Structure 1
Amino acid sequence: MKRILINSIVCAILSSCLGCTVAAQVSDTNITEEEIGEHLAFLTSSKTKGRYPGTAGNRRVVKYIRTEFEHYGLKNFHGDYLQQFKAKLRRADEGKSAKEVKTWNVVGYIEGNDNHYKKEYVVIGAHYDHLGHGGPSSKKPESDEIHPGADDNASGVSALLEIAEKLARNRYMLDRSVIFVAFGAEEQGLLGSKYFVENLPVAKERVKLMINMDMIGRLNAEKQIYMGGAGTFPGGVELMTELGIQMGLNPVVHAGEVGGSDHVSFYKEGISAIGLHTGGHPEYHRPEDTMDLINISGEKTIAEYIYKVLLRVVNENYDLTFIPQD
Structure 2
Amino acid sequence: MNTKKYLLVAIYTSLSITAFSQSEVTEKEIKAHISFLASPEMAGRFPGTAENKKVVAYLIKEFKKSGIRPYGKSYTQDFTAKIRVKKGTTDTPRVLTQNVIGFIEGSDPLLKQEFIVLGAHYDHLGMGGPSSKKPDTTGVHLGADDNASGTAALLEIGEKLATNRKQLKRSVLLIAFGAEEQGLLGSKYFVEHPVIPLQSIKLMLNMDMVGRMNAEKQLYMGGAASFNGGVELMKQLGPEAGINPIVIAYDVGGSDHVSFYKKDISVLGFHTGGHPQYHTPEDQASLINVAGEKLVCDYVYKAILSVANRKEAIVFVPEKKN
TM-score range, shorter chain: over 0.9
Give the distance between the partners of 2:224 and 2:255, measured in 1 at CA: 15
Change (3 A) 1:232 1:94: farther
* Partner of residue 147, structure 1: 141
| 1:60-209 correspondence runs (5 A) | 60-209=54-203
Partner AA of 2:139 in structure 1: E
* Alpha-carbon contact 1:176-1:316 (below 8 Å) kept: no
Whole-angstrom CA distance in 2 between matches of 1:297 and 1:323:
34
Equivalent residues of 2:21, 2:66 under 8 A apart: no
2:249 equivalent in structure 1:
255
How far 1:97 moved relative to its partner?
Answer: 3.4
2:261 counterpart letter in structure 1? Y
Distance 2:277 2:291 in 1: 20
Where 1:40 maps in the other structure, the secondary structure is helix
Q: Aligned equivalents of 1:135 and 1:280: distance in 2?
A: 20
Q: What is the 5 A alignment of 1:240-279?
A: 240-279=234-273
**Do structure 1's residue 39 and structure 2's residue 33 form an aligned pair?**
yes
The alpha carbon displacement at 1:93 in A equals 2.5
Moved over 3 A (4+): 20-27
Unaligned runs of 5+ in 2: none
Separation (CA, whole Å) in 1 of partners of 2:105 and 2:260: 21
Residues of 2 paired with 1:61 and 1:230: CA distance? 31
How far the C-alpha of 1:75 sits from its partner, in A, is 2.0
Query: Do 2:46 and 2:52's aligned partners in 1 also have CA atoms closer than 8 Å?
Result: yes
Find the partner of 1:211 among 198, 205, 209: 205
Which of 314, 318, 321 is equivalent to 1:320? 314
Match of 1:91, SS state, is coil
Distance of aligned partners of 1:192 and 1:145 in 2 relative to their CA distance in 1, 3 Å threshold: same
Q: Quick one: structure 1 residues 126 and 94, their matched pair in 2 at CA, closer, same or farther if it must change by over 3 Å?
A: farther
1:28 counterpart SS class: coil
Instruction: Name which of 285, 288, 303 aligns with 1:309.
Output: 303
Structure 2 match to 1:239? 233
- Answer yes or no: is 1:290 the counterpart of 2:284: yes
Post-superposition CA distance 1:44-91 (Å, at most 9, x none): 112210000011111110110011112212121230000000000000
TM-score (norm 2): 0.93
CA distance, structure 1, for counterparts of residue 160 and residue 257 of structure 2: 23
Report the Cα distance in structure 2 between the residues aligned to 1:228 and 1:94, rounded to whole angstroms: 34
Report % sequence identity.
54
Contact 1:117 1:316 in 2 (8 A): no
